[in-house]
Every structure is written in structure tokens, then in C-alpha cells.
Structure 1
Amino acid sequence: MSVQPFHLAIPVHDVSLARAFYRDVFNLEEGRSSETWVDFNFFGHQLVIHYHPKTPSQESATTNPVDGHDVPVPHFGVVLTWDQWEALAERLKSLGTKFVIEPYVRFKGQVGEQATMFLFDPCGNALEFKAFKDMDQLFAK
């Protein structure tokens, strides 16, 4: 599957704190920036953090039940390879990351089986990282 990179701009109420988080926790390469925004190479996609006062969803996330877990809404993330996902999960654990949903395999033995984990950035944006051993399961019903 070949896809074009997405562009996603998210609100952050503290640009320097969010900048350090995305740069240092995920080892993301920075692109262009100013005092109020920063571009990042987010696993081949363009993620931009933009200054914005705290939003209601950053104050307290709504959740929906999925596979016995409360998934924060809204959230964003990326689908990684299985090896990338495992390496990221280990890195985040070694950094003492507080997960909303700890790394685990969701829908085990079912259609759409996937590895997933959820966490918040320091500005309250929820992130999900997932992987499939069989990428044909990405949109399977």
C-alpha cells in the first residue's frame, strides 16, 4: 500500500513543552517553526503543533468503550510496522510514560487484530499508536 503523507495541525497551549515532548520522547525531526508553531516529521507524515488556548477536549477527554478499554476521543496517531510499534512501546515504557491504555494486542484472534497503546501529550492531546501483523486487516470487517 502506497499512501501520501497526511498533514495534521493540533492545538497546544504550551509550544515549548509540546516541542520538547514530540522531539525528545518520539525522536521526531523538526522542520520549519516559529514562536507559535513547529513542524515535525511524524513517522513520515507532517504533524504541526500550533499555539492555542486549552480546548475542552484537552481539559478532559470523552471516552468510548473498545475491546474493554475506555478509548479517549478525540485522538490521532499512526499505524506502524509491528517491529516499530514494539520498539516504540519499549522506549515509552523505559521513559516511564504514563499510558491511558497500556500497550497490548486488541481483538486478539479476531478480524482486525492489532497492537495498540494510548497516551496523552503534555497539552492533553490523545495519541494512539497501532500495528498489524497482517496489514490486510487494517480495514477488515
Structure 2
Amino acid sequence: MRDTNKVFHLAIPCKDLDETAAFYEKLGCKLARRYNDRVTFNFFGDQVVCHLDPESIDKAPKIYPRHYGITFADRNEFELVLNLAKDRELPFFQKPMIRFGGRKEEHITFFLIDPANNLLEFKHYHDVTMVY
């Protein structure tokens, strides 16, 4: 595990600051800062910065090779985010599904898509030793 004094930082493009802020705040992410060209969020304890750059938006996003997200060690926390996404009608790119069923690395996962077509994965491994 990482030390609590370290925060992962990710910068991604967005096409509109207002719709980006609305999406991430509905997801439960706290808006940390907003400037004319970017918004910064507390994304489950890490930092996500969405830079205004409409020309860099992926017009036809695919799960692989580019997405980011959270792996939950606690199934209840995974379920809370899943239910929040459903209740707040956030757009799903991939509905909840089981990957690698019956294998040690089996996990449940779903993908959301933000307003700039960035893909966010949320997952929980049944065997916590498979997280890394």
C-alpha cells in the first residue's frame, strides 16, 4: 500500500468545464479548484485535473488501452458507488459484469463515460490478493 502522504495525479482533456464539474460532482468527487482552463477534483483520494481541450477529445472511445478508475478492496464501497451512479443516472459505458469468472482474478466491474468520453472503471476483486 502507498503512504498516505502520496496522492496520484491524472490530467485528462475535457470539452466543457461546467458539464465536467457536474459529472464528477454527481459521482461524489469534491471540486478542489476551478480556473478558466481546468477543474481539479478529489477523485476518491487522488487528484484528477480536467483540462479544457476540446480538440483532444476521443471521438470513439474504447476501453482498451485507455481508461482509469478505482479498485475497491471493500465490496460494500464498490456497491455504494455503483448505486450512486445508477441513482444519479450517470452514463454507463459498460454495465456491471463479472470478468474472469471462476478464476482467481475474478472481479466485478463497470465503466462510466464522462462528458469528454473519458472512460472510468470501477471494480472489486473477490480475492483481494489479485488487486496488484
TM normalised by structure 1 equals 0.82
Q: How many residues align?
A: 129
Match of 2:10 in 1: 8
Any gaps of 5 or more consecutive residues in structure 2? Answer: none
CA deviation after TM superposition for structure 1 residue 78, in Å:
1.4
Q: Which runs of 4+ in 1 moved over 3 A?
A: none
Distance in 2 (alpha carbons) for counterparts of 1:7 and 1:128: 16
CA deviation after TM superposition for structure 1 residue 72, in Å:
4.6
TM normalised by structure 2 equals 0.87
Match of 1:100 in 2: 93
Distance in 2 (alpha carbons) for counterparts of 1:5 and 1:34: 21
CA deviation after TM superposition for structure 1 residue 84, in Å:
1.2
Indicate the structure with greater strand content: 1
- Secondary structure at 1:129 match in 2: strand
Match of 1:109 in 2: 102
1:130 paired to 2:123: yes
Any gaps of 5 or more consecutive residues in structure 1? Answer: 63-70
What is the aligned-residue RMSD (CA, Å)? 1.7
Match of 1:67 in 2: none
The aligned amino acid for 2:130 is Q
State percent identity of aligned pairs.
33
1:79 paired to 2:71: yes
Distance in 1 (alpha carbons) for counterparts of 2:49 and 2:91: 23
